[in-house]
Structures are given as C-alpha cells and as structure tokens.
Chains A and B, each alone.
Chain A
C-alpha cells in the first residue's frame, strides 16, 4: 500500500521521532520524495522540531530556590521546637502576646517602684498571707500618721499666723487724727515695736522648724513658747 498525503501528515511526528517501523519508514520516505506538497512541509517541521530541541532552557530567578526552601523545609525547621508544644500553647509564642506580656511587666514594675517595694529583698516567705496582711496594715498606719502630721502642721502654722498678725481695728471706726507733733514723737516707738515683733516672729519660726527637724517620727511639735 502506498501512502497518501493524509497518511504522511498523520505520522509526521512519529517519523521525526523515529517511532515508525522500517517498513513504515520506507513507505513514508518514498511518498515524501515524490510529493512536491509534502516534501517542504516535512522539511519545515523537521527544522522546527530541531530548533525546539536546541532551545536553551530559561534560567529561573536566582532567589526562586531559596524562596521554595523557605516556604517548605525552612518554615518547618523554623518552628521545629514549637511542633513539640501542645496546640493551646502556640498562641502564647506570638509577637502580639509577647508585646502584651512586656507591657504588663513594665506597668507592674513601675507600680511596685511607686509603692516602694524593693524586689532585691523579697523572699518567698514575704508572699505568705499573714506577712502580706501585716505589711499592708503597717503601710496603712504609716499613711494615716503622715496624714495626721500634715493636718497638725497646718494647724500650727495657722496658730502662728493668727498670733503674729496685729489686731485689726474694728470696721467702721475711723482712725484718730493725731496732731503732727505727737505723730513725730510716736514714730520711733512704733518702729521699735515693729522690729521686736519681727524678731519674735523669726525666733518662733526657727524654734518650730528646729523642733520639726529633731522630731524624726513626724509627730507634731506641740505647743511653741515664744
């Protein structure tokens, strides 16, 4: 049986890939040699297939292998120790949780610093409930004593001020008009009195603050004698 143009077209690739039997190959070649239509087509297709085989493979981007490894075994290796953790613990090892924990720790330290807690002196026994109660009670008493001292100090200052201030004339009474001669004679006397009052004022203040400094317990100095 001699091959037609249709036969040749259907078996073209098998001819090029050397998959035809010797008999088929001979029939194929005989037709192509004699056919002016098939010959250039076979030659062109042969050229195209050879060109495809000669094409150099494209180079992938250099970072591609690294990205693949990071995406697969790299990611697996990175969370290797985490795989051993129970599932409910995994959210703990997230950046958000770590940030929250650090913030709470900083707030706690600032608060403890403000309350005067010295962490270097803290021992396990300090955490006993009775110890905590006594510490809280002591701190409350201290706060109360400081408050009492502050109120007493205010009271003393008010007392001092009331003593030092000269008696104000009653409202409505007009000051007496003295004759010029008497005015001049009384001015030095009044100046001396004012000077004495000033000295007394300074002495009382000094005495008060001296007592306050000596009295380390923070208790009020009591009555002050001029």
Chain B
C-alpha cells in the first residue's frame, strides 16, 4: 500500500486519483472519530465532509517531518470537533429553561437500570452513552487512545498539550468511563 505521504505529494501535483485514495483510506476513521465525539450520525457525516474539505484546502500546509498524516488529519478533525462542541454548547445555553428541563428529565428517566442494560443494547451503544457523559477533554483523549488507536505521543501532537496532561486525561477519562459503565451494569471481561 502506498504511504500517505506519497499520496499527498501526488495530490499536490494535481493527481485526482491520489486524493480519492486518501479520502477512501481515511473516511471511516474520521467518521468514527466524529461519531464517537458527537454521538450523532448526521452531525458526524457533516463534520466528516467538513474535515475533508478543510484538508483539501490546506493540504499544502502538511509537512511530513512534523508527524504522520493520520495525526495531522486527526488534529484537523479535533479542531473542528471542538469548534462544533463550542457552537452547540452556546446554542444549548441560549435555550430557555422551559425547553431544557424536559430534556434533562427525559435523559434521567431514559438511563437504563442495571438489570435491564445487559439485554437492552450492544456494548457499542452503551459505550457511546457513557462517552457522551464525559467532559470533552476526557472524551477526546479516550476516543483518540482507545477507539482511534493513537499512542501518547501522537495524542500529544493532536491536542497540543504536555505529555503529563495527556497521560492524566487518558487515565481520568478511562476511570470515569469504567465507573459510568459499571453504573449501567456493564462489566466487560478482559480478553
């Protein structure tokens, strides 16, 4: 398989097939990152398109010496996700209290009881529900590490934070996620 760096070079020379290969190779990864962060399929789809549009426009700024293409595209995605999160949080804050209250009640009542959860959904959906209850800082760290498979150094490049902060966020995010899953009655056995 041709390395991403060479595909990028071909793209910059105007080779359309190289761009198509890059898109096909990374769409699933970016879509998963967006979906795990937002928990919404439509938003994930729109954000994935937005990511590739931005990558297409700024491909010339990618430098292989600063890291892998996967890390670079993850950084682009992460910046867009944070922008999206801030926008949606601002929208939520501007909602009136009357509109927000029923949603909170509905969320609380829809939380599955431990005896029901095992039979109710797949692990993937339970993980997704738990992820959405994490703060964005902890959520992105766990998603990048455990669902995207990036190592600590790569996550440090994506988040642009010190190594100690990366370790701390990953650890706290995992512990919080495990606690939430335990509350849901999910106790996966180690493989």
Chain A positions within 8 Å of B, measured between CB atoms, are 9-14, 16-17, 19, 41, 43-61, 64-65, 67-69, 71-73, 77
A60 touches B175 (CB 8 A): no
Within 8 A of A (CB), among B5-37: 16, 19-20, 23-24, 27-29, 31-32, 35
What bracket does the count of chain B residues touching chain A fall in? 35 or more
Contacts of A58 in B (CB 8 A): 28, 31-32, 35, 124
- A-B pairs with CB below 8 Å: how many? 104
Cβ of B142: which chain A residues have Cβ within 8 Å of it?
Answer: 52
The smallest C-beta distance from B146 to any residue of chain A, in angstroms, reads 4
Given the interface contacts A12-B171, A55-B124, A73-B19, does A48 sit within 8 Å of B45 by beta carbon?
A: no
B188–A50 CB distance below 8 A: yes
Interface residue from A13, A43, A48 paired with B170 (Cβ < 8 Å): A13
Closest chain-B Cβ to A6's Cβ sits at a distance in Å of 12
A-B contact pairs, 30 of them (CB 8 A): A9-B171, A12-B174, A14-B167, A17-B152, A45-B178, A47-B187, A47-B189, A48-B178, A48-B181, A50-B191, A52-B142, A53-B146, A53-B149, A55-B124, A56-B124, A58-B28, A58-B32, A60-B27, A60-B31, A60-B44, A60-B48, A64-B31, A64-B45, A64-B49, A68-B48, A68-B52, A68-B53, A69-B23, A73-B56, A77-B16
Task: Tell me if A48 and B48 are in contact (CB < 8 A).
Answer: no
Interface residue SS majority, chain A:
helix
Q: How far is the CB of A64 from chain B (nearest CB, A)?
A: 6
Whether B48 lies near A64 (C-beta < 8 A) is yes
Complex alpha-carbon distance, A61 and B23, angstroms: 14
Q: Smallest CB–CB gap between A197 and chain B, Å?
A: 95
Most buried by A among B53, B146, B147, B170: B146
Residue B76 interfacial (CB < 8 Å):
no
Residues of A within 8 A of B181 (CB): 48
Tell me the chain B residues, 28-63 only, with Cβ under 8 Å from chain A.
Answer: 28-29, 31-32, 35, 41, 44-45, 48-49, 52-53, 56
Asked if A13 and B171 make an inter-chain contact with CB atoms under 8 angstroms apart, the answer reads yes
Q: Are A69 and B20 in contact (CB under 8 A)?
A: yes
Distance of A13 Cα from B149 Cα, bound (Å)? 14
Query: Which residue from chain A places its CB closest to the CB of B11 in the assembled complex?
Result: A73
Residues of B within 8 A of A77 (CB): 16
Q: Do the beta carbons of A51 and B49 come within 8 Å of each other?
A: no
